[in-house]
Amino acid sequence: MRGSFGQHFKLTIFGESHGSAIGMVIDGIPAGTPIDEETIARDMARRAPGSDPTATSRREPDKVKIVSGLFEGCATGTPLCGLIENMNTHSGDYAQLRAKMRPGHADYAGQIKYDGFNDPRGGGHFSGRITAPLVFAGSIARQLLAAKGIAIGAHIASICDVSDDVLDPVHISANTLSQFQNNRFPLLDPAKEAPMREAVAKAKAEFDSVGGVIECAAVGVPAGIGSPFFGSVESVASQLLFSIPAVKAVEFGDGMAISSMRASRANDAMRYEEGCVRCLTNHNGGVTGGITNGMPIVLRAAIKPTPSIARKQQTVDLSTGENTTLSITGRHDPCIVPRAAVVIESALAIALCELMMDDAATKQAFPIGEGVRPQG
């Protein structure tokens, strides 16, 4: 917990927004895994802020430097450490950051947690920038999964009050998902891009920001991955998803909506289809009893609006012990939702690697012979 995740595909992240570098260590990449640094660069670019008007104008190339665990293009099997230099850090005067608490941010909670010793510059370790190491790790996880025919992709399900179409949870194709990866504004219905951008622009013009929802899916995951209870697919994925700073809700399958259905609708009827067990519907999002059932895994994560806004807000000044107001200036994203798509994908990819390794640990170390086996 805290800065580390996992028992098999072990990930440790570190760094502050305005420190010299941020990065991560993965312990558990199988020796011999080819690490494609171009794929990593492409995934990093999807998260990086750039010239898109929905994002901050800061330029962070987010170039990854692997300092260990890689030899001649392949993972060595020992811990892989990757660094991302912080280049564009205008720290300025941060005394105010210690004093005036930005609403919606971790400022106040963080100062109590760390007794006022946390790095306040640019949000420090609470910065959304620390999701860059998560994307780095996720990119490696996805390369592992891809070799087993597993594809992961996410689109913008909504920004503010503008919604994209929803994925058909029964018939998601790997092709659809991989197209999302080539698009910095991934949508099922391209016609929604204009109104979404308009909503962002309008908020920005009013010194405000907007949130949205990311819908993410994985196809090709075999049935039987995950465990009941604390190692359920939902438990492990949600631990990672909720570690992403702006996420406030996570749904699997029909999520909240399933609570108002009757079982006769919510239960996914099963049938044989070309010798394979399939479900006719996928209200459970590919997971029953915490374990994959072979259907696409489908989840949604709610992203709250970026808390940094220029509009005047009421807050407290810890240095004076008095109430005050605050207008946050500087370069901030009026909407981080498009950049969040690859972060959500990364969280799911890391969770699946961890769970597939957990499955292999018991099943493959001591493979059994015969038994009362299902015909799945």
**28 is a contact residue toward a copy of itself (CB under 8 A):** yes
- Which residue's CB is nearer to a copy of itself, number 182 or number 325? 325
User: How far is CA 251 from its chain centroid?
Assistant: 14
**243 is a contact residue toward a copy of itself (CB under 8 A):** yes
CB of residue 299 vs a copy of itself: minimum separation in angstroms? Answer: 9
Residue 186 and residue 347: Cα distance in Å, rounded?
17
Near a copy of itself by CB under 8 A: residue from 22, 154, 218, 342: 22
CB of residue 202 vs a copy of itself: minimum separation in angstroms? Answer: 10
List the interface residues with a copy of itself, window 200-239 (CB under 8 A). Answer: 203, 208-213, 222-232, 234-236, 238-239
- Which residue's CB is nearer to a copy of itself, number 132 or number 182? 132
Asked if residues 152 and 177 have their Cβ atoms less than 8 Å apart, the reply is yes
Near a copy of itself by CB under 8 A: residue from 139, 176, 284, 346: 284
- Which residue's CB is nearer to a copy of itself, number 23 or number 186? 23
- Which residue's CB is nearer to a copy of itself, number 51 or number 323? 323
Residue 95 and residue 10: Cα distance in Å, rounded?
36
CB of residue 8 vs a copy of itself: minimum separation in angstroms? Answer: 4
Asked if residues 238 and 300 have their Cβ atoms less than 8 Å apart, the reply is no
Closest alpha carbon to 280 in 169, 173, 165, 374: 169
**48 is a contact residue toward a copy of itself (CB under 8 A):** no
**329 is a contact residue toward a copy of itself (CB under 8 A):** no
Near a copy of itself by CB under 8 A: residue from 92, 96, 161, 189: 161
**55 is a contact residue toward a copy of itself (CB under 8 A):** no
**338 is a contact residue toward a copy of itself (CB under 8 A):** no
Closest alpha carbon to 140 in 64, 215, 84: 64
Residue 185 and residue 188: Cα distance in Å, rounded?
10
List the interface residues with a copy of itself, window 294-313 (CB under 8 A). Answer: 294, 300, 302-309, 311, 313
- Which residue's CB is nearer to a copy of itself, number 179 or number 195? 195
- Which residue's CB is nearer to a copy of itself, number 41 or number 74? 74
**254 is a contact residue toward a copy of itself (CB under 8 A):** yes
Residue with tokens 């690490």: 35
List the interface residues with a copy of itself, window 115-144 (CB under 8 A). Answer: 115-119, 124-126, 130, 144
**Which stretch in 39-47, 77-85, 166-174, 175-183 sits in contact with a copy of itself by CB under 8 A?**
77-85
3 state SS of 358: helix
**363 is a contact residue toward a copy of itself (CB under 8 A):** yes
Asked if residues 221 and 236 have their Cβ atoms less than 8 Å apart, the reply is no
Q: Give the residues across from 217 on adjacent strands.
A: 153, 298
Near a copy of itself by CB under 8 A: residue from 50, 61, 104, 220: 104
**89 is a contact residue toward a copy of itself (CB under 8 A):** no
Q: Is 369 exposed, middle or buried (0-12, 13-18, 19+ CB in 10 A)?
A: exposed
**185 is a contact residue toward a copy of itself (CB under 8 A):** no
DSSP string, 293-357: -SSPEEEEEEEPPPS--SS-EEEEETTTTEEEEE---S---S--HHHHHHHHHHHHHHHHHHHHH
Number of residues that bind a copy of itself (CB under 8 A): 176
State how far the alpha carbon of 179 is from the alpha carbons of 135, 144, 332, 360, in Å: 18, 19, 28, 30
Asked if residues 41 and 49 have their Cβ atoms less than 8 Å apart, the reply is no
